[in-house]
Amino acid sequence: MSFTNALQLLISGIAVGAIYTLTAKGLFIAHLATHRLNFGQGDFLMVGAYLSLGLLLAGVPAPLVLLAVLAAMAILGWGLERVAIRPLDRAGDQTGGYAWVLTTAGCALILQNVVELVWGKSAQYAPPIFSATRNNVVRIGEVGIFVEELAIILVAFLAVTAFYVFLFRTRWGKAIYAVAFNPEAAALLGVNVKGTVILVFVLASMLAGISGFLVGPLVSVQPHMGLVFTIKAFAVASIGGFSNPLGLLAGGLLFGIAEAYSNYFDSAFGDLYPLIAVLILLAFRPTGLFGTRAADVR
């Protein structure tokens, strides 16, 4: 492999890895606050990808597309909490229950079929978001790098940064940590617990939406693409340790880069090797690379 190739793969890996990170953050934040998460996180990404594709093809400017996708995904996240999460509390599935696995996966199946009805089964190609054609390249010496990939990395990192600022610097971030620790104690401090639970599912859905917006130019978009992203987001969250938001970033980048190189050497089974590596990692370090063993002091 030449140096040029290696560098191009690295950039591609970082672009895809940043998208995995964003998707995994949706799993992380929902799991942190509610000990539940959306098994259709990848399918929410798929919906985001289709919405962006449709709007971009209709000639809507990219920044407006992103705003529209974020708004639509926020509503979808709110709806998920209403139909798949909250009714379980009323039914008494407070702790230890895993009914949310079925309800959220069920919503994902519905979304897949709705998208298939609207856009059809076949794979589609999203137009480039940031440049005139998919193959616009900036040259740095000998090395050509896709403009799209650079822009995707930039936007993804902006989103990651915004997420950290939100989590660590705002009063809502503190509310999420308070609810994660003990919902009743959080309520006694004036935290609206129901509102916070809605907020995390809305946020998780918006993160999937940004991922879907960004992933369009990198892959073909089709109704059943979601499951692969859900699985990879789980893998990333496991490497990062579900409790460590910075670990997620490292996990996502590691996974994306590993995948780019492994696809270069084996185009048929390239996706397989990073997942096997994660399984082996978890066999030896069940808390991931960055998780701590005794994080739960309750």
Partner 1 sequence: MITLENVSAGFGVVQVLHDVSLAVPAGRLVSVIGANGAGKTTLLRTISNVVRPSAGRIVFDGTPTMASEPHRLARAGLVHVPQGRQIVPTLSVRDNLLIGAQRVAGLGAAEIETGLAREFARFPVLDKRQDILGGNLSGGEQQMLAVSRALMMRPKLLMLDEPSLGLAPQVVRTILDALRSLADGGLAILLVEQLAHLALEIADEGHVMQRGRVVISGPAEDLRKSRSLIDSYLG
Closer residue to partner 1 in complex, CB, 168/269: 168
Strand partners, 221: 124
Q: What does R_g of the chain's alpha carbons equal in angstroms?
A: 19
Closer residue to partner 1 in complex, CB, 159/180: 180
Please say whether the beta carbons of 61 and 227 come within 8 A: no
d(C-alpha 81, C-alpha 84), whole Å: 6
Q: How far is the CB of 199 from partner 1 (least distance, A)?
A: 14
Closer residue to partner 1 in complex, CB, 136/287: 287
Q: How far is the CB of 188 from partner 1 (least distance, A)?
A: 5
Please name which of 200, 188, 184 lies closest in space to residue 298, comparing C-alpha atoms: 184
d(C-alpha 227, C-alpha 249), whole Å: 21
Mapped onto helix, strand or coil, the DSSP state of residue 180 is helix
Closer residue to partner 1 in complex, CB, 35/121: 35
Residues that bind partner 1 (CB under 8 A): 171, 174-175, 177-178, 180-182, 184-193, 297-298
Q: How far is the CB of 287 from partner 1 (least distance, A)?
A: 16
Q: How far is the CB of 193 from partner 1 (least distance, A)?
A: 7
Q: How far is the CB of 295 from partner 1 (least distance, A)?
A: 8
Q: How far is the CB of 205 from partner 1 (least distance, A)?
A: 24
d(C-alpha 138, C-alpha 175), whole Å: 44
Closer residue to partner 1 in complex, CB, 32/55: 32
Per the structure block, which two tokens stand in for 178? 């308070």
Closer residue to partner 1 in complex, CB, 14/180: 180
Q: How far is the CB of 296 from partner 1 (least distance, A)?
A: 9
Phi (first) and psi of residue 231, to 5 degrees: -65, -45
Closer residue to partner 1 in complex, CB, 72/193: 193
d(C-alpha 203, C-alpha 176), whole Å: 11
Beta strands in the chain (DSSP E): 137-140, 143-146
Please name which of 265, 261, 262 lies closest in space to residue 9, comparing C-alpha atoms: 261
Please say whether the beta carbons of 195 and 34 come within 8 A: no
Q: How far is the CB of 298 from partner 1 (least distance, A)?
A: 8
Closer residue to partner 1 in complex, CB, 178/218: 178
Per the structure block, which two tokens stand in for 231? 């699985």
d(C-alpha 256, C-alpha 191), whole Å: 37
